Amino acid sequence: MKLPAHELVYRKIRDKVLFGDLSPGQAVTIQGLAEEIGVSMTPVREAIRRLTAAGALEFMGNRRVTVPQMDENSFAELVFAREAVEPQLARQACMRVNSQVISQLRAIDQEVNQAIEAGDVPEYMYQNYRFHFMLYRHADSAILEPMAQTLWLRYGPLYRIICGKWGTANMVDLHAETVSALEKGDAEATAKAILLDVQQGFEIIRNSFQWS
C-alpha cells in the first residue's frame, strides 16, 4: 500500500488548497514545495500539473503559480455549477446508500456540529467536506463526482476567508435535513436539502464579501 510520491505530494497540496491553508493570490514555487515536502522537483511538477488542470492552481505569466483569485463572475459560475452538480449527486447517492452509510453520515454530522460549537474553523471545513463527499462517493459517479471535487477546490480558499473573518458563529448546519431525507429514501428531498446547503453557504459568502 505504498503510494507514489507524486500522488502524496498531490494530496498534500490539494488539501492545502481545499482547506484554505493557501489563500487566493498566494504564489507557490515548485522548488519551494519540493524542499518543503522533501522530494525532488519532478513529483512536485506532476502534482502541480494535475492541480492546474483541475483549476486548483493557476499559471500567472510564465513563472509563477498561484491560487486563483475569484471575481464576481467566476463566483456566479461556481454557484451555478455546484447547484447543478451536487443535488444530482445527492439524488443518485440516495438510491444507493444503505443504513450503515447513513449512520456514518450522521456521525460526521455530529463532528460538524461539535466543530461549529467549538469555533474550530479548520475542523469544521474538514468535516463538512467529509460529509459531502462521503455522500457523493456513493453516487458511484465517474463524471459528476470529479466535477464536484474541482468545484470544491475553487470554493475552499474563498470559504476559508469567510470562516476566518466571521468564525463558525453563523454557520447553520443543514445536514440533518439531508440525513433524514436519506433515511426515507426520498431522492428528491435529498437533492433539495443539498441544494439548500449549497445556497446557504453561498449566501454567507455573497453577503460578507466585497468584490474588489
Partner DNA sequence: GCCCTCATAATATGATCAGATTCTCGGAGG
Partner DNA sequence: CCTCCGAGAATCTGATCATATTATGAGGGC
DSSP 68: P
Rounded to whole angstroms, the Cα distance separating 86 from 196 reads: 11
Question: Residue 22 corresponds to which cell in the numbers above?
Answer: 493557501
Contacts of 11 (CB under 8 A, 6+ apart): none
Pick from 139, 124, 128: nearest CA to 85: 139
* Nearest-approach distance from CB 141 to DNA, in angstroms: 24
140 binds, among DNA, its own copies, none (CB under 5 to 8 A by kind): its own copies
Q: Does 26 bind DNA (CB under 7 A)?
A: no
Question: Residue 165 corresponds to which cell in the numbers above?
Answer: 473573518
Contact residue for its own copies among 53, 60, 95, 107 (CB under 8 A): 53
H/E element holding 53? Answer: helix 41-53
Site for DNA in 28-47 (CB under 7 A): 29-32, 39-43, 45-46
Residues 146-165: x where in contact with DNA by CB under 7 A, - otherwise, as a string: --------------------
Pick from 101, 131, 106: nearest CA to 194: 131
Contact residue for its own copies among 23, 29, 66, 74 (CB under 8 A): 74
Rounded to whole angstroms, the Cα distance separating 9 from 5 reads: 6
77 binds, among its own copies, DNA, none (CB under 5 to 8 A by kind): its own copies
Contact 145, 89 (CB under 8 A): yes
* Nearest-approach distance from CB 69 to its own copies, in angstroms: 10
65 binds, among DNA, its own copies, none (CB under 5 to 8 A by kind): DNA
Q: Does 81 bind its own copies (CB under 8 A)?
A: yes
- Which parts of this chain interact with DNA (CB under 7 A)? 2, 4-6, 29-32, 39-43, 45-46, 61-65
